[in-house]
Amino acid sequence: MPVCPGTVPAGFPSPAADYIEERIDLNKHLIKHPSATYFIVTGGDSMINAFIPPKAMLLVDRAIEPENGDIVYAEFEGEFTVKYLRKNELKAWLVPANPKYREMEIRPESNCIIWGVVTAIITNPKDVRHVGFGRC
| Domain hosting residue 59, numbered range | 33-129
**How are strands ordered across the β-sheet holding 112-122?**
37-41, 57-61, 112-122, 71-76, 79-87, 92-95, 104-106
Element housing 30 (H / E): helix 26-30
83 catalytic, yes or no?
Answer: yes
Cβ atoms of residues 120 and 58 within 8 Å: yes
Q: Does 13 fall in a domain? A: no
pTM of the model: 0.79
Q: Does 16 fall in a domain? A: no
Instruction: Give the model confidence (pLDDT) of 37-70 as tens digits.
Output: 999 999 999 999 999 999 999 999 999 999 999 9
Q: Does 23 fall in a domain? A: no
**What's the confidence (pLDDT) of residue 136?**
44
Q: Does 14 fall in a domain? A: no
Higher pLDDT, 33 or 128: 33
Q: Does 122 fall in a domain? A: yes
Cβ atoms of residues 52 and 40 within 8 Å: no
Q: Does 110 fall in a domain? A: yes
- We report the CATH number of the domain holding residue 37 as 2.10.109.10
Burial class (CB within 10 angstroms; exposed 0-12, middle 13-18, buried 19+) of 108: exposed
Q: Does 12 fall in a domain? A: no
Single out the catalytic residue among 14, 32, 46, 110. Answer: 46
Rg (CA), the chain: 18
Instruction: Give the model confidence (pLDDT) of 63-120 as tens digits.
Output: 999 999 999 999 999 999 999 999 999 999 999 999 999 999 999 899 999 999 999 9
Number of domains comprising the chain:
1
133 pLDDT above the threshold of 60: no
Q: Does 135 fall in a domain? A: no
Single out the catalytic residue among 14, 55, 83, 87. Answer: 83
